[in-house]
């Protein structure tokens, strides 16, 4: 395997062919904690569609019904503006944590790293052996029965797990009962979902079987942004060159602590040598820290030749926690959290949208001016709601005609026509107002603005 250099990616050979990276096994406290974090995250991924909050799955993005159930809150399309807080909040949170903790997301919580390192690579090690055995198997001809059995088993198991991940992913959009129904019926009856899950399975399989770390190195936009998101005070995985250099043999006394054993390079899943300095390929997985600590323990030297630290600290300076970007991101997060809390406190379990019906803006019937409105009402709660209607801000004499009450089942959406009229005797011209729908227990009140149109009062009075 070529020695890593900073000018090219280790996973691609000079001729453009793939250099398959087989990281060596590693043990240590960071690897142990990462294992628990990965197990927890995978458990959450599997469990979320099963856990019900308020009668709906904890996370259910019901695109067909245009409802988004998130931890007990149901959002309809009219609530889509809440996404502004989610998207901007997530963006600022990423900026903040990256400026503070570097690529902690990549190495510890990204689904790519979690599934690759703690599911697929573990199965690979179990089937094909350690790094040396896997590299030998790579070079073995496909006619070899041992390779056919081991690689064949790997392909089948990887494909099954990719399909499982894809099915769980689909359940976030269609719900588990609907997924079971789809799986028990012909694919032709649910061809859209079938194509989705098939394509997702193939993409996951391709990624975890072959593409792997190249997703982080070449494709992931977050990885590309690292150089502008972090600074010299961010927490990164770094090599203490002051302490490690010059490299030498364990028996030498006039050299640094690095014995040039290459363990840190062998365990690196992106194939880099962290001793060459911080590189964009480093996903901050901490494998090289554990590997080097193991060597230092054996040599009875202090741990931490490779460690989580800032570039400033590795250069022998003090890390600054409060920097302009940390303060600005922190203030923006605080403002966002306050505004989002205020917005969520106004969340209503029903939503109303009033629009004018197409056609004539008004009609005159027996001396009464009438306007027709389209009223779209959604019950986002999990109980029946019966609504009565009234006008707010309308002049005396204006009224809703031919409407008594409207009952909606849980999650039901209804579109009705509503007639607002005003008699000749009280009519003074066009006016703005609000249509208010109130539940029978008075707990749910939704309103939307509209405007009443009509002729000039003089014209109306002149009519017989
Ligand atoms: S594992 Fe530690 S001692 Fe070995 S080469 Fe890397 S930095 Fe040097
Ligand atoms: S250099 Fe270390 S922390 Fe970075 S990706 Fe390689 S093993 Fe992980």
Model pLDDT, residue 343: 82
Name the residue of 3, 243, 261, 300 whose CB sits within 8 Å of the most ligand 1 atoms, as the mutation to test its pocket. Answer: 261
Contacts of 188 (CB under 8 A, 6+ apart): none
The number of C-alpha atoms within 13 Å of 192 and in the hemisphere containing its C-beta is 4
Helix, strand, coil percentages for the chain (3-state, nearest 5) = 45, 20, 35
In this predicted structure, what is the pLDDT of residue 101? 93
Question: Vertex 113, ends 112 and 114: CA angle to 5°?
Answer: 95
The pLDDT value recorded for residue 1 is 62
Q: Tell me what the mean pLDDT of segment 82-92 comes to.
A: 84
Residue-wise pLDDT for 174-231, tens only, equals: 999 999 999 999 988 889 999 999 999 999 999 999 999 999 988 998 888 887 888 9
For residues 281 and 34, give the distance between their C-alpha atoms in angstroms, rounded to a whole number.
19
Nearest Cα residue to atom 2 of ligand 1: 292
Q: Does residue 74 or residue 447 have the better pLDDT?
A: 447
Question: How high does pLDDT run on average in the chain?
Answer: 91
Query: Which residue ranges make up each domain of the chain?
Result: 1-347, 350-462
Confidence of residue 382 (pLDDT cuts 50, 70, 90): confident
Q: How far is the CA of 317 from the centre of ligand 1 (A)?
A: 23
Characterise 388 by phi-psi region: left (phi > 0), alpha (psi -120 to 50), beta (else).
beta
Q: Across residues 421-427, what is the average pLDDT?
A: 91
Domain 350-462 architecture: Sandwich (2.60)
Per-residue pLDDT, 445: 87
The pLDDT of residue 151 is above 80: yes
Contact 464, 366 (CB under 8 A): no
Task: Provide the token pair at 287.
Answer: 């494998």
Tell me how far apart the alpha carbons of residues 115 and 256 are, in angstroms, rounded to a whole number.
Answer: 37
Q: What is the dihedral of CA 232, 236, 240, 241, to 10 degrees?
A: -60
Q: Which pLDDT belongs to residue 463?
A: 81
> Ligand 2: distance of its center to the CA of 266 in Å?
10
Q: How confident is the model at residue 172 (pLDDT cuts 50, 70, 90)?
A: very high
**Average pLDDT of the residues in 90-98:** 89
Question: Could you give the CA distance from residue 196 to residue 169 in angstroms, rounded to a whole number?
Answer: 10
pLDDT at 461: 86
Distance 314 CA to ligand 2 centre (A): 16
Q: What is the pLDDT of residue 434?
A: 95
How high is the pLDDT of residue 137?
Answer: 95
- Closest ligand to the CA of 272: 2
- DSSP single-letter state for residue 378: E
Tokens encoding 182: 């789809």
Reported as a single tens digit per residue, the pLDDT across 5-45 is: 777 788 888 888 888 999 999 999 999 999 999 999 999 99
Cβ atoms within 10 Å, residue 254: 6
Confidence check: pLDDT of 166 > 80: yes
pTM for this predicted structure:
0.82
pLDDT tens string 302-332: 999 999 999 999 999 999 988 898 999 999 9
| Protein residue closest via CA to atom 3 of ligand 1 | 258
What's the pLDDT tens digit per position in 225-239?
A: 887 888 999 999 999
Determine the distance separating the centroid of ligand 2 and the alpha carbon of 287, expressed in angstroms.
6
User: pLDDT for 35-74, tens place per residue?
Assistant: 999 999 999 999 999 999 878 899 999 888 888 888 888 8
CA atoms within 13 A on the CB side of 379: 18
């089942």: which residue's tokens?
409
Ligand 2 pocket, Cβ-based, cut-off 6 angstroms = 237, 267-270, 272, 274, 282-288
Decide: 76 and 376 in contact? Cβ < 8 Å.
no
Report which ligand 2 atom has the smallest distance to the Cα of 281: 5
């Amino acid at each position: 395997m070529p020695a890593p250099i900073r000018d090219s990616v280790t996973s691609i050979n000079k001729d453009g062919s793939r250099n398959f990276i087989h990281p060596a096994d590693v043990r240590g406290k960071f690897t142990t904690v990462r294992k628990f974090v990965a197990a927890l995250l995978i458990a959450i991924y599997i469990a979320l569609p099963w856990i019900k909050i308020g009668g709906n799955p904890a996370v259910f993005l019901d695109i067909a019904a245009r409802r988004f159930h998130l931890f007990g809150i149901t959002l309809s399309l009219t609530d889509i503006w809440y996404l502004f807080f989610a998207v901007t909040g997530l963006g600022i949170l990423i900026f903040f944590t990256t400026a503070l903790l570097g690529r902690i997301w990549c190495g510890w919580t990204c689904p790519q790293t979690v599934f690759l390192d703690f599911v697929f690579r573990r199965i690979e090690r179990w089937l094909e052996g350690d790094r040396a055995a896997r590299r030998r198997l790579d070079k073995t001809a496909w006619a070899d029965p041992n390779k056919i059995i081991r690689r064949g088993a790997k392909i089948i198991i990887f494909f099954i797990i990719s399909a499982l991940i894809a099915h769980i992913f689909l359940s976030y959009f269609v719900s588990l009962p609907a997924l079971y129904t789809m799986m028990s019926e012909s694919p032709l009856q649910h061809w859209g979902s079938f194509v989705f899950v098939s394509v997702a399975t193939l993409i996951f399989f391709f990624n975890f079987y072959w593409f792997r770390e190249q997703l982080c190195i070449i494709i992931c936009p977050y990885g590309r942004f690292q150089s502008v998101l972090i600074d010299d005070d961010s927490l990164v995985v770094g090599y203490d060159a002051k302490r490690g250099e010059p490299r030498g043999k364990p028996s030498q006394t006039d050299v640094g602590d690095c014995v040039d054993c290459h363990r840190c390079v062998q365990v690196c899943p992106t194939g880099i040598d962290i001793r060459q300095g911080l590189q964009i390929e480093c996903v901050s997985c901490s494998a090289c820290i554990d590997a080097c600590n193991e060597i230092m323990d054996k040599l009875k030297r202090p741990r931490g030749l490779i460690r989580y630290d800032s570039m400033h600290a590795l250069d022998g300076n003090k890390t600054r926690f409060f920097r302009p970007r940390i303060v600005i991101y922190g203030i923006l997060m605080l403002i966002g959290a306050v505004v989002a809390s205020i917005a969520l406190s106004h969340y209503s379990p029903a939503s109303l949208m009033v629009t004018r019906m197409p056609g004539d803006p008004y009609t005159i019937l027996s001396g009464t001016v009438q306007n027709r409105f389209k009223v779209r009402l959604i019950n986002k709660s999990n109980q029946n709601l019966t609504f009565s209607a009234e006008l707010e801000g309308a002049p005396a004499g204006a009224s809703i005609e031919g409407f008594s009450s409207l009952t909606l089942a849980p999650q039901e959406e209804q579109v009705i026509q509503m007639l607002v009229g005003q008699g000749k005797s009280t009519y003074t011209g066009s006016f703005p107002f609000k249509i208010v729908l109130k539940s029978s227990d008075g707990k749910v009140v939704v309103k939307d603005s509209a405007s009443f149109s009509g002729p000039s009062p003089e014209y109306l009075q002149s009519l017989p």
